[in-house]
Chain A
Amino acid sequence: MNKPPSFLTDALIAEDIDAYLDQHQHKSLLRFITCGSVDDGKSTLIGRLLYDSRMIFEDQLAALESDSKRHGTQGEEIDFALLVDGLAAEREQGITIDVAYRFFTTEKRKFIVADTPGHEQYTRNMVTGASTADLAVILVDARKGVLQQTRRHSYLVHLLGIRHVVLAVNKMDLVGYDRAVFDRIVADYRAFATSIGISDFTAIPISGFKGDNITALSANTPWYSGPALIAHLETVEVDAAAAQTQPFRMPVQWVNRPNLDFRGFAGQIASGTIRPGDQVRIVPSGKTSTVARIVTFDGDLDEAVAGQSVTLTLADEVDCSRGDLIAAAGDPPQASDQFCATFVWMDEEALKPGRGYWLKMGTQMVTATIQPPKYEIDVNSLEHLAAKTLGLNAIGVAEFATDRAIAFEAYGVSRQLGGFILIDKFTNATVAAGMIAFSLRRADNVHWQPLAITRDDHAELKNQTPRVLWFTGLSGSGKSTIANEVEKQLFLMNRHTFLLDGDNVRHGLNRDLGFTEADRIENIRRVGEVAKLMADAGLIVLTAFISPFRAEREMVRAMLRKGEFIEIFVDTPLDVAEARDVKGLYKKARAGQLKNFTGIDSPYEPPENPEIRVNTVDMTPEEAARHIIARILPLK
């Protein structure tokens, strides 16, 4: 076995280790991803990079040689792919089924490669690998040209915001290093890339197996005038450097309070630079202060930049905790509780629109509900398809609502402040990755004053005015039906509601009460207290009780703040309600089997001045609900 060519200068290491270490110490880091179809030779290329950069030791090489004979697909030659196909089961199948990270170093840079699978069902893994990559190498088999998978991978690379794309036309040795083949593939790819918004890419003819144009330009392709793959990877600009030119933002990870005299906000700077004396704003509270110190283990810094993990102390005692963002005072990011995002579903169990998922972005963790997707994107044709949900590996666009405002940037501006994951609250699985496109409205509660948590704070957080919508009317008048409809419509408006239904409360809280006058009063008193607590928590409460007596309704009104109690009279005449008799109760009452039945042998006192009256003879429940909501607007 010949000694592999090496990017590391053995002579320098041997003769002047100090000079070598000095060189190595100043290297930058580039993370990239390789994507290709199953047989495009991706693992072989990575194996080649590791081999050529001396990342393979003799004992590993010996294992590789024996493995090559057992599992290899290259006859007596070394099968580089075996070097990178990690887990035992995968090795038997000869397919990489997960994301693996590999490392190698050249004289100029250190590299981390995300190796992701090529076959169709693993969009999830590719998206994962792409999320941290600055550059993507898209492999095409010179014999096959641009395939559907090439298009899919390119789309995902673009979706995940990778700005540097390399088209590596591989296996050139198998097409006789034919320039015409290369040129045709590049032209095909250019047409497609332009159509999806990839404005620029670098095309390189290579052979991972033979080593052409990997570390050095190959004599087999004299017609190619561009750089070898490694030379190109060594010179591309790294994204982390670009982030420094943006306004300052640092998500607060942890508040460091070792003693009463020190209060530091620890985090990794997402963008921009910061110096002591700089004005900053805490988002979403809106409080401003000045940076006092940039504290690190190695001493205070005069300046810190994007990518560094630091601890800031502020000049003022401001409220700031995990999940808050410290931003440039004059140029803070937007905050909103509604936005539109593209997202990739990664779980076997499909998206459930309307269900609450944990949304983690930066250090913020909130509950998010997702509207039914506007559309799903077919990653092969890039067509927009109608969709009610998203299944595993599907990509779609939908509107998101969160239970409180979060600070963010569009993903195109900042991957760190615009990328999020969704977590299933029951299984704790990471079920989706999302990229915020734009805010649907600017939350107006960005600058609330941080106080002890009062009922106003609860309401403010929910971005609504608490109310108690008190439905009253005869049995069978349609209270529950209409209340349900109102709640549904409020929910779609992202309002936090709760419906207390007469029948349901009597199964639990008021199980001990009957239908005597006294019990009916106690029933309403208890419901009133519960509704009050819920209003204190900031909710819009809907109650559906016959509540036949004026006094009790007024008692509840008095418990609440002025204007909070909305009496809604569901005005259905007795004969209409009795004719409906949904539960068959009127029949029983008429037969004398039910005592104290309102309207039959117990009185109903209709409201004298209800806030809202609905006539269920002329209105459908939907119309009644719309009528009610129109009357209670604005909700805040």
Chain B
Amino acid sequence: MRSLTHLERLEAESIHIFREVVAEAENPVMLYSVGKDSSVMLHLARKAFYPAPPPFPVLHVASGWDFADLLAHRDRTVREYGLKLIIAENEEAEAQGINPFDTGSALYSQAQLTDPLKRALTAHGFDAAFGGGRRDEEKARAKERIFSFRNASHRWDPKNQRPELWNLYNAKKAKGESIRVFPISNWTELDIWQYIALEKIDIVPLYFSKPRPTVERDGMILVVDDDRFRLDPGEEPVTRSVRFRTLGCYPLTGATVSRATEMNDIIQEMLLATGSERQGRAIDKGQSASMEDKKAEGYF
């Protein structure tokens, strides 16, 4: 007899969830943000269906302001694992004058992330979408089910969730409805990092510290990732050794000064950190229930 470790149990649960969805849904897709949680999800999906490849495409919502390293990592991963990639984006953003410098964060995330996501899900007729949400991230997430239903306009009704008992998931749905499925609901940030280290999962180099051109604004350190970054008069990029705990649009994602260049350094920094992971995201700021409001709108 051997007892399973918590990571083995989490892995087995996630694999079970992936297989249930593929067995019961007609047209599933995996949301792939290319971040660490997505990388773990992809790894679990490959395990779930091995030796077959994951029997669904991956969908990346590209805002047009993604880190160059992130896009390179995405394309390399897709090529290496033979995945089918679908890119969702708002092609009219420029014409609409939407950009992360002038547009308010609520409108920006609606126009660049939520709307393109909803349009892509509808256009391809996906009836189930895997997302990398974790219950430890945020209070609203803590109460979301693993199988989370969306009506035809992709809205979430937190008051009308199906009870989830044992490991039995009810995937029945009416025409037009879809399910968001969160296979790593029960993982914590520490579990994710530990698993990446154990399984040697390849992640975007932005998570590791290295000297990068930065500016400091409103208490956040931003990386000048390309020449579209609008510098204020007199502002000069300063080279700092920084890394990211979470990845979003580069002009909106705060970096932390760090010397962590190895996986274990990252975990050490995380464990000794005093700020939560989403602190680095401008989009999640605002009143404390804002994540719940965004989720109701269709944000992942």
- A419-B166 in contact given A27-B5, A98-B143 (Cβ < 8 Å): yes
Is A479 in contact with chain B by the CB < 8 A criterion? no
Q: Which residues A77-116 have CB closer than 8 A to chain B?
A: 84, 86-89, 91, 98-103, 105, 109-110, 112
Q: Which residues of B contact A273 (CB under 8 A)?
A: 1
Chain A residues with a Cβ closer than 8 Å to the other chain, count: 84
Select which of A58, A244, A266 is within 8 A of B274 by beta carbon: A58
Select which of A27, A88, A132, A322 is within 8 A of B166 by beta carbon: A132
* A323 to B276 Cα, complex, angstroms: 42
Q: Which residues A420-464 have CB closer than 8 A to chain B?
A: 420-421, 423, 428-430, 433
Tell me the minimal C-beta distance from B156 to chain A in angstroms: 11
Q: Is the CB of A131 within 8 A of B166?
A: yes
Is B47 in contact with chain A by the CB < 8 A criterion? yes
Q: Which residues A241-290 have CB closer than 8 A to chain B?
A: 241, 244-245, 253-254, 256-258, 262, 264, 266-268, 273
* A262 to B190 Cα, complex, angstroms: 36
* A358 to B170 Cα, complex, angstroms: 10
- A59-B4 in contact given A21-B264, A103-B188, A254-B19 (Cβ < 8 Å): no
- A433-B274 in contact given A28-B5, A98-B143 (Cβ < 8 Å): no
Q: Which residues A294-314 have CB closer than 8 A to chain B?
A: 295-298, 305, 307-309, 311
Q: Which residues A385-442 have CB closer than 8 A to chain B?
A: 415-416, 419-421, 423, 428-430, 433
Q: Is the CB of B10 within 8 A of A256?
A: no
* A10 to B271 Cα, complex, angstroms: 8
Is B79 in contact with chain A by the CB < 8 A criterion? no
Q: Is the CB of A102 within 8 A of B142?
A: yes
Q: Is the CB of A429 within 8 A of B162?
A: yes
Q: Is the CB of A244 within 8 A of B52?
A: no
Q: Is the CB of A103 within 8 A of B19?
A: no
Q: Which residues of A contact B288 (CB under 8 A)?
A: 63, 67
* A429 to B147 Cα, complex, angstroms: 13
Q: Which residue of B lies closest to A58 (CB)?
A: B274
Q: Is the CB of B136 within 8 A of A268?
A: no
Select which of B47, B272, B273 is within 8 A of A296 by beta carbon: B47
Q: Is the CB of B5 within 8 A of A26?
A: yes
Tell me the minimal C-beta distance from A244 to chain B in angstroms: 5
Q: Is the CB of A295 within 8 A of B268?
A: no
17 A/B residue pairs, CB under 8 Å, sorted by A:
A8-B271, A17-B271, A25-B7, A58-B274, A63-B288, A87-B143, A87-B289, A98-B158, A101-B185, A102-B136, A256-B52, A273-B1, A295-B50, A309-B16, A430-B162, A430-B164, A433-B163
A-to-B contact residues, CB < 8 Å: 8, 10, 13-14, 17-18, 20-21, 24-29, 55, 57-60, 63, 67, 84, 86-89, 91, 98-103, 105, 109-110, 112, 124-125, 127-128, 131-132, 238, 240-241, 244-245, 253-254, 256-258, 262, 264, 266-268, 273, 295-298, 305, 307-309, 311, 322, 346, 358, 360-361, 363, 415-416, 419-421, 423, 428-430, 433
B-to-A contact residues, CB < 8 Å: 1-13, 15-16, 19-20, 22-23, 46-53, 135-136, 139-140, 142-143, 158-159, 161-168, 170, 172-174, 185-186, 188, 190-191, 194, 197-198, 264-265, 267-268, 271-276, 279, 288-289, 292
